[in-house]
Amino acid sequence: MIKIIVTGAKGRMGSHIISLISESSDLELAAGIDIGDSLADVIDGADVIIDFSTPDASVLYAELSATHKKAIVIGTTGLDDVQETQIKKAASSTAVLHAPNMSIGVNVMFKLIKEAAAALDDSYTIRIEETHHIHKKDKPSGTAKRMCDMVPNSNRITEVNSHREGEVVGDHEITFSGHDEILRISHHAESRKIFARGAITAARWIAGKPAGFYNMNDVLSKN
């Protein structure tokens, strides 16, 4: 039985994750914490922490996880370079998985983008379009930035257009435009539950892993 602590437990993502844990036969909710609660008070009872909170909180939770040698899965977006460095530092003491998007489908999309960018020469120009709900603070999204990372020569990317509309969960598309042809790779999220399911998959995978910094590509590799 894998014991899990969920941060941001009262939020939409936290609620989805807790629901999936309750439906599972191999997972147990050790604790759900939110604003005003202390992870330090309950962390010893967990095998894995799943964190969808804020950048500052994620850094704190990663540091606590490192101190207590507990694996942590972080789905928080909007981290700056300093915060990302702090989280990676924690990975020297415990297993840390950070992904800007926990969706299995989105992470398959990243792989496809990397393959397409390698196969298509520099005569193809690249455009990225992404749309999220109006409440999303980071722009462009962490997913859009990761899409850019999949292209070795970033000069090929002519546009990254970010839109914030209504309650859109997440739409992402990359277009490779060449002579007489266009290749499009896209992903449409119909529910936030896909991110919760991905986080649960990541938690199962990371339990018992050695210290290190991991991402969803490691999970998909099944190693």
Known catalytic residues?
A: 132, 136
Query: Could you give the C-alpha distances from 84 to 91, 142, 185, in angstroms and in order?
Result: 11, 12, 28
Reading phi first (left if > 0) and then psi (alpha if -120 to 50, else beta), residue 222 is in left
Distance CA 128, CA 142 (A): 13
Q: Are strands 181-189 and 170-178 parallel, antiparallel or unpaired?
A: antiparallel
Q: Are strands 48-51 and 71-74 parallel, antiparallel or unpaired?
A: parallel
Distance CA 128, CA 109 (A): 13
Which residues does residue 57 pair with via DSSP β-bridges, in sequence order? none
